[in-house]
């Protein structure tokens, strides 16, 4: 195992690190639990329970962020669900923790080596955002056209299946919705959103005619995911059908009430008894029909409630104002990170990526996942970029080009406010340029906040010179 303190390799039989003396007993227990969750995620992934696998793998990474096997598998699952950006980010993070002998290299290279595939994935994201925008504007037809193209470019994009299914349901095309949801269910058998939408379709499916092949074939869509081979383009309105049934039953009840008491028995001696008996039977039949009518009315009310719920859910999905190019910058940053991590460590340059992250506008992101991904990138890139800006600025400072050095040193300080080396040489550069006011500010930062560092004594001495 790797010591979490000094990052040196330690034999699994050791309970303490030979290099730093760190007690490893607790860490070993944590790692075992992390591996247990990884195995659970692997087992769930094998039976296409991708949602369950994601939950297990996230728990594994919460316990041990260095578990590259769990992180790589999580990336594969995201990719299988059509979440390309999320997949790439997990593989990039995996390479950050394990630069060598990492399967993430193979996954990333397989995408990089196929520019057409990469372009298709990028186009799918753009078109999905366009579809969201069209849906918000009420242009359902345009949104559906975009989503069909999205699914051609990325056939496993589950979120696209969900959105197009909602649009179909909104427009009463329930068979088309069920067909799309069935495809999504084959990708991830226990996706809660997919199963919930399929459940919403069940009441109206049950109200269909007996013997309807398309209804019977998909009677249990959640347990037997079978493709819908045919559907009726112009399906009768279910509400009208329910109302028709109610009307027929009312007619039967009225007919029973009017006709039954008038039936005459051939035996004249039993007319009164027979009429009384028939009248009682008619009343009983009428009561039975009334119960059926009440039941159907309740079912009708439930269906209306379901439709209202679906419409509300659709509205909640398409409310955010979406820019078609909203995630282009995030996707570009992910690609740049992938490219840099594919290089030798000495050749990597994160300064440009840090600048792009600094200029990234996340205020319009409509999902927490996008915000979290941007934060992950910053946590990963900023400290490295700070050191690279500092190294460049320090070299230029050594050549006596103090103004130019300040440009890089200030960047180093921005991306890591705890980079005391950068702070110190910012003060020295201002001091050399005889800008004593600014020099004093940065010397004081060292003196007040970094007393235990190697720069403290020098900064304190120079600060005294300025104050004198």
The pTM of this model reads: 0.50
Task: Give the model confidence (pLDDT) of 251-290 as tens digits.
Answer: 444 444 444 444 444 444 455 445 445 545 555 555 665 6
* Structure-token pair, residue 21: 């003396």
Q: Is the model's pLDDT at 85 over the cut of 90?
A: no
**Which H helix or E strand runs over 85?**
helix 84-97
pLDDT grade for 376, boundaries at 50, 70 and 90:
confident
> CA–CA distance from 300 to each of 203, 290, 394, 446 (Å)?
10, 15, 76, 73
Q: At what angle do helices 140-153 and 115-136 cross, to 10 degrees?
A: 160
Q: What is the pLDDT of residue 309?
A: 63
Residue 23, strand partner residues:
16
Q: Which residue has the higher pLDDT, 365 or 439?
A: 439
Task: Give the model confidence (pLDDT) of 27-74 as tens digits.
Answer: 777 778 889 999 998 999 999 999 999 999 999 998 888 899 999 999
CA 109 – CA 225 distance, rounded (Å): 33
Q: Is the model's pLDDT at 334 over the cut of 50?
A: yes
pLDDT grade for 377, boundaries at 50, 70 and 90:
confident
Mean of pLDDT values over 214-228: 34
* Structure-token pair, residue 10: 């330690």
Q: What is the pLDDT of residue 342?
A: 75
């Amino acid at each position: 195992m790797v010591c979490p303190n000094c990052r040196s390799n330690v034999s699994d039989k050791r309970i303490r690190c030979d290099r730093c003396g760190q007690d490893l007993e607790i860490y070993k227990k944590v790692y075992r639990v992390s591996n247990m969750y990884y195995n659970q995620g692997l087992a769930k992934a094998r039976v296409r329970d991708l949602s369950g696998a994601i939950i297990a793998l996230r728990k594994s990474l919460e316990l041990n962020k260095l578990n590259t096997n769990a992180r790589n598998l999580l990336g594969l699952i995201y990719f299988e669900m059509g979440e390309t950006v999320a997949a790439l980010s997990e593989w990039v993070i995996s390479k950050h923790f394990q630069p060598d002998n990492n399967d993430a290299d193979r996954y990333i290279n397989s995408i990089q080596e196929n520019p057409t595939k990469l372009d298709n994935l990028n186009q799918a994201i753009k078109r999905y955002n366009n579809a969201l925008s069209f849906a918000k504007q009420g242009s359902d037809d345009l949104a559906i056209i975009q989503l069909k193209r999205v699914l051609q470019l990325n056939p496993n994009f589950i979120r696209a299946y969900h959105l197009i299914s909602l649009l179909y349901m909104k427009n009463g095309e329930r068979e088309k919705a069920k067909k799309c949801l069935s495809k999504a269910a084959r990708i991830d058998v226990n996706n809660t959103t997919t199963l919930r939408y399929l459940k919403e379709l069940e009441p109206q499916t049950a109200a269909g005619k007996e013997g309807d092949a398309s209804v019977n074939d998909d009677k249990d869509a959640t347990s037997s995911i079978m493709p819908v081979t045919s559907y009726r383009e112009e399906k009768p309105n279910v509400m009208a059908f329910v109302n028709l049934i109610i009307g027929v039953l009312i007619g039967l009840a009225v007919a029973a009430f009017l006709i039954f008491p008038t039936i005459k028995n051939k035996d004249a001696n039993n007319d009164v008894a027979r009429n009384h008996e028939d009248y009682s039977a008619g009343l009983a039949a009428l009561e039975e029909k009334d119960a059926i009518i009440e039941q159907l009315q309740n079912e009708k009310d439930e269906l209306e409630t379901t439709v209202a719920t679906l419409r509300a859910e659709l509205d909640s999905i398409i409310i955010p104002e979406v820019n078609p190019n909203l995630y282009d910058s995030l996707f570009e940053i992910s690609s740049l990170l992938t490219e840099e991590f594919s290089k030798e460590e000495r050749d990597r340059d994160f300064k440009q990526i840090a600048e792009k992250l600094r200029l990234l506008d996340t205020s319009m992101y409509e999902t927490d996942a996008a915000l979290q991904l941007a934060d992950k990138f910053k946590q990963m890139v900023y400290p490295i970029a700070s050191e690279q800006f500092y190294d460049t600025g320090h070299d230029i400072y050594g050549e006596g080009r103090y103004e130019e050095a300040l440009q890089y040193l200030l960047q180093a300080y921005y991306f890591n406010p705890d980079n005391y080396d950068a702070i110190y040489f910012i003060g020295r550069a201002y001091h050399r340029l005889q800008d004593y006011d600014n020099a004093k500010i940065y010397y004081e930062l060292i003196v007040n906040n970094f007393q235990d560092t190697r720069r403290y004594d020098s900064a304190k001495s120079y600060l005294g010179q300025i104050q004198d």
